[in-house]
Amino acid sequence: MAEAGIARAGQQTYSGTGEAMVYDRTARALSDASKLKPVAVLSYGEDPARKIEIYRPHTGEPAEPLPVLVFLHGGAWIAGGFQWLRFMAGAVVAQPAIFAAVTYRLAPEHKWPGQLEDGIEALRLVQERVSDFGGDPERMVVAGHSAGGQIAAMALLSGKVAPVRACMPVSSPMDLRYGRVPSETGKGRVYRYLLKAPEDDVDASPICKLEGNTTPFHLLWGERDFEHIRDSCTRMCEALRANGQPVTQRVEPDAGHFDTHLQLNDARDDWYRVFRSFVGLSNESAG
């Protein structure tokens, strides 16, 4: 049974408190207000959580294939769904680009590396099928908010997917090696819900998987983000630079953990400027 504060995928209510509850209400309201409908819903496995919604601009056939943004929702690996993704669709297609919104199996019913397996399979399917919807699999960026960004990074760094233009985690934990921490804390939930064994934290940490990486990273987090997010993102950037691997970063002024994602409702947000630069679109503002 889900604990208080956990919004299971597909639920109509959220029993959390504070910033998380405000985020849930706001993301749902923005998603419900979106007039865009997916042009396709793809399944990448039998589990109903393994779904991808595909959105594209409704302006006729593009002159050339469009770039693609693959984005995974957050929720501490135990919560979330399309209700935390659909509000981005209008902003993404305004770039213009194809938006592939990904959901995945949740803990504690499914332990790590189940989420990594889902990220890999979802990316493979988008790369295989996106051309059917006017997308260019050679101009793809993978990203996600919070836990979704960790999954996206791990899928990319696994070496089991075709190369992408960039990885753009948003307020995501890049190092899950928390050690002995209280189980009721955000860090403790990693060991309580996600991992099969404490020592699996190394294999779930993107910062430990950088060897051989050549894909550019862009990390976004908030000035008021959770301490462990600020810390791990800072160290991830330092590790990438130390390895001679391309990385840029932005710390959003006065933004909390959920603000960095909600602001992606705006097609003119600076995050999309970075996305456009990776996929070869004009850096003039979209929308």
CA–CA distance, 248 with 252 (Å, rounded to integer)? 13
Residue that has been written with the tokens 């194809």 in this structure: 98
* pLDDT tens, position by position, 24-63: 999 999 999 999 999 999 999 999 999 999 999 987 777 7
285 domain-assigned: no
* pLDDT tens, position by position, 198-239: 999 999 999 999 999 999 999 999 999 999 999 999 999 999
CA 104 to chain centre: 11
pLDDT of residue 287: 55
Q: How many structural domains comprise the chain?
A: 1
Closest CA to 220 of 278, 145, 285: 145
User: Residue 167 pairs with which residues in a beta bridge?
Assistant: 142, 217
24 domain-assigned: no
Coil vs helix vs strand at 208: helix
Is the per-residue pLDDT at 4 higher than 90?
Answer: no
User: Residue 102 pairs with which residues in a beta bridge?
Assistant: 52, 72
1 domain-assigned: no
**What's the average model confidence in pLDDT over 265-279?**
98
22 domain-assigned: no
CA 259 to chain centre: 14
CA–CA distance, 154 with 85 (Å, rounded to integer)? 20
Tokens of residue 211, six digits: 């060897």
CA–CA distance, 190 with 3 (Å, rounded to integer)? 14
Closest CA to 52 of 121, 116, 117: 121
How many residues would you count in the chain? 287
Is the per-residue pLDDT at 286 higher than 90?
Answer: no
User: Residue 141 pairs with which residues in a beta bridge?
Assistant: 69, 166
Percent helix, strand, coil in the chain (nearest 5)?
35, 15, 45
225 domain-assigned: yes
5 domain-assigned: no
- Containing domain of residue 164, as a range? 38-276
Q: Radius of gyration (Cα) for the chain, nearest Å? A: 17
26 domain-assigned: no
What phi, psi does 42 have (nearest 5°)?
-100, 145
Is the per-residue pLDDT at 9 higher than 70?
Answer: no
pLDDT of residue 223: 98
Is 178 within 8 Å of 191 (Cβ atoms)? yes
CATH number of the structural domain spanning residue 136: 3.40.50.1820
263 domain-assigned: yes
